[in-house]
Chain A
Amino acid sequence: MAIAGIKVDNFEIKITEQLDKVKVQWLGRSESRNPAEILNPYFDNMINQLNGKSITIDYTLLEFMNSSTVPPIIKFIKACSLGGINTVVNYSKDLEWQNASFKPLQTICMMLKNITVSAV
């Protein structure tokens, strides 16, 4: 079964699947009061569908995220690492806010297996 995307208000996650590669693209603005309420169960479900696949999590077109979005991101990346899912996380080197937001994430992900975080 194909992995479904999600759209809530001004925020969307779009999924593109090609053979054993899955692209998880974040779009718009994640600014809800409690993003974890929606993102945690959504990603928990996705993890079960990623067996044997590799994923790219693409933030380059994300316009904004509040700090409440960070814990679900970390939880998902950690789950990918523990699940042995090869994961590439991309953020935009051209957006100052993304550089500032994702470099610390890049630092903490260095200790996780199967995870690569890059500015593109």
Chain B
Amino acid sequence: METKMQIEITPMWSVIAEVKEKIRIFMEGMSQGNIDFTIIVASELLENAIKYGIANDKIGSVGFVFEIAGKSVLVKVSNGVNDNENLEKFKAVMEKIKTTENKEGLYIARLLEIMDDPSKPGSSLGLYRIVSESKFELEYELDNHVLSMIATREFKEN
């Protein structure tokens, strides 16, 4: 199976459900687990783009790419960013993800922090969830105030 969807999304929360439904249709025939994990990843990335992304002169909406090639799945979400403290925190989280072998340990450590102080917001939880629960590889590209998050996974079976 090979398919690709590339769309520009208005950064509105209600659009996420529509994209999830499109993915479900595109992945018809694959296992329910594969579909669920892919939807979780797409949802987390789109939520972050809508929550934290900005429109700038390079990108005015949220870019979304979804590709299936055999058992490989790619989800790419792009949005505008500012140079600010949040971007630096994001880079630090991504560095931790990249350099830590035990992704589940990272996620559990974050859950323990939330348990210790539930009043703190669950920031970065979605990124840890992508690499820990859904077992996707996660990378980012930052080019001229456009942030692209790229999540990939080669499933063992369809």
Q: Using a CB–CB distance below 8 Å, which chain A residues touch chain B?
A: 10, 31-33, 64, 66-68, 70-71, 74-75, 78, 95-97, 100-101, 104-105, 107-108
List 5 tightest A-B contacts by C-beta distance, closest first: A96-B33, A75-B118, A100-B133, A97-B36, A67-B126
Enumerate chain B residues within 8 angstroms of A100, measured Cβ to Cβ. 37, 132-135
Enumerate chain B residues within 8 angstroms of A68, measured Cβ to Cβ. 47, 122, 125-126
Q: Do A67 and B13 touch across chains, with their CB atoms under 8 A apart? A: no
Q: What's the dominant secondary structure at chain B's contact region?
A: helix
Q: Do B118 and A71 touch across chains, with their CB atoms under 8 A apart? A: yes
Q: Please, which residue of chain A has its CB at the minimum distance from the CB of B104?
A: A104
> Cα distance A92–B122 when bound, in Å?
24
22 A-B residue pairs with CB within 8 Å:
A31-B16, A32-B13, A33-B13, A64-B40, A66-B44, A66-B47, A66-B126, A67-B44, A67-B122, A67-B126, A74-B118, A75-B118, A96-B32, A96-B33, A97-B36, A97-B37, A97-B40, A97-B133, A100-B37, A101-B129, A108-B108, A108-B112
Q: Please, which residue of chain A has its CB at the minimum distance from the CB of B124?
A: A67
Q: Do B115 and A104 touch across chains, with their CB atoms under 8 A apart? A: no
Enumerate chain B residues within 8 angstroms of A64, measured Cβ to Cβ. 20, 36, 39-40, 43
Q: Which of B43, B108, B115, B133 contacts A78 (CB 8 A)?
A: B115
Instruction: Count chain B CB atoms within 10 A of each CB in A10, A64, A67 and give the residue with the most.
Output: A67
> Cα distance A78–B117 when bound, in Å?
10
Q: Using a CB–CB distance below 8 Å, which chain B residues touch chain A?
A: 13, 16-17, 20, 32-33, 36-37, 39-40, 43-44, 47, 51, 104, 107-108, 111-112, 114-115, 118, 120-122, 125-126, 129, 132-135
Distance (whole angstroms) from the CB of B6 to the closest CB of chain A? 23
Q: What's the dominant secondary structure at chain A's contact region?
A: helix
> Cα distance A97–B20 when bound, in Å?
15
Enumerate chain B residues within 8 angstroms of A31, measured Cβ to Cβ. 16-17, 43
Q: Do B51 and A33 touch across chains, with their CB atoms under 8 A apart? A: yes
Q: Do B122 and A71 touch across chains, with their CB atoms under 8 A apart? A: yes
Distance (whole angstroms) from the CB of A97 to the closest CB of chain B? 4
Q: Which of B39, B51, B120, B132 contacts A104 (CB 8 A)?
A: B132
Distance (whole angstroms) from the CB of B48 to the closest CB of chain A? 9
Task: For the A-B complex with A67-B126, A68-B126 known, give 12 more contacts whose Cβ atoms are closer than 8 Å.
Answer: A10-B17, A31-B17, A66-B47, A66-B126, A68-B125, A70-B114, A71-B120, A74-B115, A74-B118, A95-B32, A96-B32, A100-B133
Q: Do B122 and A70 touch across chains, with their CB atoms under 8 A apart? A: yes
